[in-house]
Structure 1
Amino acid sequence: METFITHARGMTARIAERREEQETFGRLAAGQSPLALFITCSDSRVVPSLITGARPGDLFELRTAGNAVPPYEADRPASSEGATIEYAMRVLGVADIVVCGHSHCGAVGAKARGEDLAELPAVRDWLDRQLSSELPADDGPAVAAAVQRHVREQLARLRGYPCVRERLESGDVRLHGWYYEVHTGLVAAHHAETDLFLPL
């Protein structure tokens, strides 16, 4: 934690030393105009700015256990995830939505392997509600097939949100499914025409 504190203390000085940084952060104070909504896992090994090279203000991020997108349900109270998606669509007007799953995902792996999560009731209940019971069984550490299936399902769920569907129909937003390999840095993208994930 001390490393984080030391870095935070030096933030003001680092910005003050570089004109480019002053301009960037000054612009951010006036408002945000992110390029994409980036939906990914809470896993500490997945760092969106590192994967994409994004600068501050480029990505509007939504992180959940297992990069799960709750299904849209008009007759139920809004979720934090749903509110984030709606804000990205109707206020920020992002042009792209990325759902990024990753190898070695603990959430998807637990579901795919049928692990006993009795000691983690909140995790168990979240995964039971948000992850498909039809994920392919996968005993390997990367759980690639299960994660990729899960990413496809989250893209389908996004299409169920009225705010997303409207902008898809008008051609104002694009959906992207990504699979990130933690151990190699490889990023593969879903291709709807073949239903395959291929390296970018």
Structure 2
Amino acid sequence: MKDDFKKILKGYQAFRNKYVHAEQSIMYGLHHNGQQPKIMVIACCDARVDPALLLQCDPGDLFVVRNVANIVPPYEKDANHHGTSAALEFGICLLNVAHLIVLGHSQCGGIKALLASEALQQDDFITNWVSLIKTPDFRQYEADDYAKLSLTQSYQNCMTFPWIKARVRNGKLTVHLWFFDIQTGQIYTYAHDTKTYQALLPLAE
């Protein structure tokens, strides 16, 4: 436990050395110019799936919201509290991001909680949250297969937001569905025309 905390303190110092200690540092620019990301990511809370680390991004590159099972909820304009929806509104309507990536992953604990909800020992909120992506036949799936299916459900939920749907239609916003395989470190991207996941190919040097 103590070594884990020491690790993050060393990481903090490395961050300051890389991004802060320079007159024209990245953080200096972000302070004076504000954030202007063009990419938003809806990612899972899983500690193994950090979008900025996976994509080797600098501060300011990504606008990220993380929740259990990387779920995009449906558009519900009511008096309840909608953290993910508020983040979507901020990123898309105020920051005007051009790309929205919904990033799922293998071995997702949130998906496993949905498939075996009766086994949860602590469940004040989890089952209700993951029920947003529950289908009538959900128990027939393996966890990774259902994690991919849930991405298409999140895409359908995206299209219930009027300002997402409008921007997609006029070409100002592209929604990407990505699946990260933890064991191989490979990202797969969903092709809507073939309804299959294909390996995301890195750019040639």
Pairwise TM-score range, normalised by the shorter structure? 0.7 to 0.9
* 1:9–1:50 Cα change, 3 Å: closer
- 2:81 and 2:162 map into 1 onto residues whose CA distance is 13
**1:184 paired to 2:184:** yes
* 1:174–1:87 Cα change, 3 Å: same
Q: Considering only aligned residues, what root-mean-square deviation do their CA atoms show, in Å?
A: 2.0
**1:126 paired to 2:129:** yes
**1:195 paired to 2:191:** no
Which ranges of structure 1 fall in alignment gaps of 5 or more residues? Answer: none
**1:138 paired to 2:135:** no
- 2:153 and 2:103 map into 1 onto residues whose CA distance is 12
Q: 2:203 corresponds to which residue?
A: none
- 2:74 and 2:100 map into 1 onto residues whose CA distance is 16
Which ranges of structure 2 fall in alignment gaps of 5 or more residues? Answer: 201-205
Q: Which moved more, 1:145-154 or 1:159-168?
A: 159-168
- 1:49 and 1:152 map into 2 onto residues whose CA distance is 23
* 1:10–1:50 Cα change, 3 Å: closer
**1:5 paired to 2:1:** no
How far has the Cα of 1:108 moved from its partner?
0.7
Paired residue total: 194
Mapping of 1:13-162 within 5 angstroms?
A: 13-15=17-19, 17=21, 22-29=24-31, 30-77=33-80, 79-128=82-131, 130-134=132-136, 135=138, 137-139=140-142, 143-162=143-162
Q: 1:165 corresponds to which residue?
A: 165
| TM-score (norm. length: structure 1) | 0.87
* 1:136–1:9 Cα change, 3 Å: same
Structure 1 letter corresponding to 2:7: T
| TM-score (norm. length: structure 2) | 0.85
Structure 1 letter corresponding to 2:41: F
